[in-house]
Amino acid sequence: MIYGIAFDIGTTTIVGALVGIDGCKEEGAAHMQNPQTKWGRDVLSRILAIADNADTLNSLQQAAAGACNEIIKKLANPEDVQFVTAAGNATMEHIFLGISPAPLAKVPYKPAFKEAKTIKAATIGLVINPEAYVYAFPLIGGFIGGDTVAGILSTEIHKAKRYNLLIDIGTNNETVLASGKTILATSTAAGPAFEGGTIKCGMIAKNGAIQGMKIESGKIVLDIIGNTAPEGICGSGIIDAIAKLLDAGIIDRTGRIKNRDEIEDNIANRIKETEERGQGNSFILYKDAKKEIAITQKDVREIQLAKGAIQAGIKLLLKKARIAADEIEKIFIAGAFGSNINKQSLVRIGVIEKEWLDRVVFVGDAALDGAKLALCSEEKRREAEDIALQTKHLSLSGSAHFQKEFIKGMEFPPVKFL
């Protein structure tokens, strides 16, 4: 059996899938936190770290390669791995290949390369078959990388007769509006809030993560991955919790967690008021003798920033294509959420439009799926390269229209519009 490994090299998480190349069948998958986070949670922090000290590039590259090697060892005998594909955002692919991403920090934010790269695995520190090669996906431009190309490849939105949206909700959000005639893509710095990062009790979607919430007769009912004691809250959980707290009137349209005396129900007892100026209140989801899991005012603000950026990006893509929201046929949503994300909650907090509710398709890790396709097929690799060339990059840097839509998108939708 000839094995290959496909990687989605994310800013926050690196995911790998072992694939039998002959039948293109996945044999297993594993993930781990990207160890580069100690240089910063977002791509800009890592680019600036490299700009400050050129030696940092080598350290970051080795950290990424080391994480990939750990994943490989979990999945297979490294000697049996004969081909690797890697998809990541523009910064992650630069670093993974040992190429400085410094040009991305300066106007006009052009990557050092855009074409697909095929190189010997050993040259970037991957410990697999000595003759193995790595295929890194082509980039589109700016901060739109190979993970977006891989997502388009796997969802096939570039072949659709009508317009479709692909929204990849991660630390660096990419949104693509595509049909068989046009592919438009843009990127916004959503931050890691939707992946549990920058959230006080945030965690990735694994056992112990709160992935959903209900309020029944004034009581909180938690949906926990693995049906175990909660350890924290993942992306789908924070979205669902904020949506339910908006419905219950505990969070207002501006995102403020209200004081206890503003809530008539007994659920008000879960509101933890603070006397520290500017800190705001928090809402306790779970508490036992050892820990307390709560949503803080800062958590809500982080989600507002993230969803405001995504919403603004979508609106400007629609404006560029001169189409209305109701002309979108399907909305593909990718991201590192839990398995039980509630699309009604995405509407409630304002990530997607109400009329899109029945058109939403959750595609999980679309970048990884695209990387798996490219692993098994030279034809798919050529298709990925064609996609990258055809896609038009809509830059939002310095856009007054983006700032206007972003500020509008910070507020939560009023109940009467839902």
- Mind listing the pLDDT tens digit of every residue in the chain (418 residues)? 889 999 999 988 899 999 999 889 999 999 999 999 999 988 899 999 999 999 999 999 999 999 999 999 999 999 999 999 999 999 999 999 999 999 998 888 899 999 999 999 999 999 999 999 999 999 998 889 999 999 999 999 999 999 999 998 877 789 999 999 999 999 887 766 777 778 899 988 889 999 999 999 889 999 999 999 999 999 889 999 999 999 999 999 999 999 999 998 899 999 999 877 778 999 999 999 999 999 999 999 999 999 999 999 999 999 999 999 999 999 999 976 655 678 999 999 999 999 999 999 999 899 999 999 999 999 999 999 999 999 999 988 778 888 999 999 899 998 754 4
Q: pTM, whole model, 2 decimals?
A: 0.90
Q: Give Cα separations from 121 to 26, 59, 95 (angstroms).
A: 21, 17, 14
Amino acid at 225: I
Question: 76, 84, 95: which is closest to 11 by C-alpha?
Answer: 95
Q: For residues 153, 157, 158 and 164, what is the CA-based torsion angle, rounded to 10 degrees?
A: -150
Structure tokens of 195?
């992946």
